Amino acid sequence: MNRRVVITGVGLVTPVGVGVADSWEAICAGKSGIGKITRFDASAYATQIAGEVKDFDPEQFLPKKDAKRTQPFIAYALAASRMAVDDSGLVIDDANAAQVGVLTGCGLGGLRLLEDTCRVIDQKGPKRVSPFFIPMMIGNMAAGMISIQFSARGPNSSVATACAAGAHAVGDACKIIQRGAADAMIAGGVESVITPSCIAGFGAMKAISTRNDDPQKASRPFDRDRDGFVVGEGAGMMILESLDGALQRGARIYAEIVGYGMSGDGYHMTAPSPDGEGAARCMQAALDDAKLSADQIGYINAHGTSTPLNDLYETRAVKSVFKESARKVPISSTKSMTGHLLGGAGGIETVFTALAVHHGIIPPTINFDHPGEECDLDYVPNVARKAEIGYAMTNSFGFGGTNASLILRRRPE
């Protein structure tokens, strides 16, 4: 059917704010959400910083009994979904429930609960394991619980494509609506893994920043002095609808999703393919899907992790695809403020991209003081910029060489 798909509601739980208004205001102001880890005693770890969600009360979104046993990644997803549904004004009832689906992206699921349960087994034995252990740990339970909370009985799925999961979830949900398998989808990404094993594991890989003395300066995409990414947590959820359905009910439209590209590097477990070849094919696939040329893109929300290889290779990929227009298109990494939400990154960054298109404001890349080697494009350094954005692209690339790019356009007339 190839129906047109629009974003009519957004919800955010991020290290810079709980709620869309607070998160977007902080992002536009260039405020960092990175600080010392408080989830556990990290004093013995090489990395002692992260982008934690602050001032989040699950009882605002869940019954008290459920809030106590619900894992943070599920609670964040439910909260962001509630915001998005309320924002959209979409009513889900018996008449349309089978045509409203859910698709979430999550990389590691309930890692915190897995660690806690292993300790329970070691210290108290297997009989003390909670019956909620498995259902509260598995990554797809975010989608499952959203479906239950809103009685959304359409397609229900979850993707676990590492740091591309949130973007894949949005893109896949868009295609479900385009082909007529649903009229609306609750879609996005979520992650909450600021845990000992996560920080130790990424630390062992030398992938995360050790700038413990100055946390808010630690995430510095494309900067000469970048030394790794910063783990973040949170959720970004959206309501996607067919354009006809959104117009029929008079919904506010933030942006239209016009392009979705996927690719695989086929190169290495963790390192990007040389010269960003896989990322370039992914961006080109999104442009082809949207039937656009690269010079029509007015903003790129970069993957921009603040790691030496990713930022270099993504820059090379942009140059490969955009050619002479590469130096003209504004590019920024909101990870400089939120840290890297792993499987949730594509969720919040698609929301930020939609808001950039909707409001005509390009978020900055903070901590960009000295350009890194070959990082010589327009990264919107340190200060947000007003701009009329016709089309915007957002990139998400994950371990295993899995890539996703989405293209959004300003609300169609």
Could you give the residue numbers annotated as active site?
A: 163, 303, 340
**What's the Cα-to-Cα distance from 118 to each of 56, 110, 202, rounded to whole Å?**
26, 13, 20
**What's the Cα-to-Cα distance from 360 to each of 210, 246, 294, 384, rounded to whole Å?**
35, 22, 19, 10
- Rounded Cα distance between 273 and 278, Å, is 6
- Rounded Cα distance between 413 and 410, Å, is 9
**What's the Cα-to-Cα distance from 310 to each of 157, 212, 261, 296, 383, rounded to whole Å?**
29, 22, 18, 24, 23
Task: For residue 94, count other CB atoms closer than 10 A to its CB.
Answer: 8
Are the CB atoms for 371 and 312 separated by under 8 Å? no
Q: Which residues on neighbouring strands pair with residue 234, listed in sequence order?
A: 191
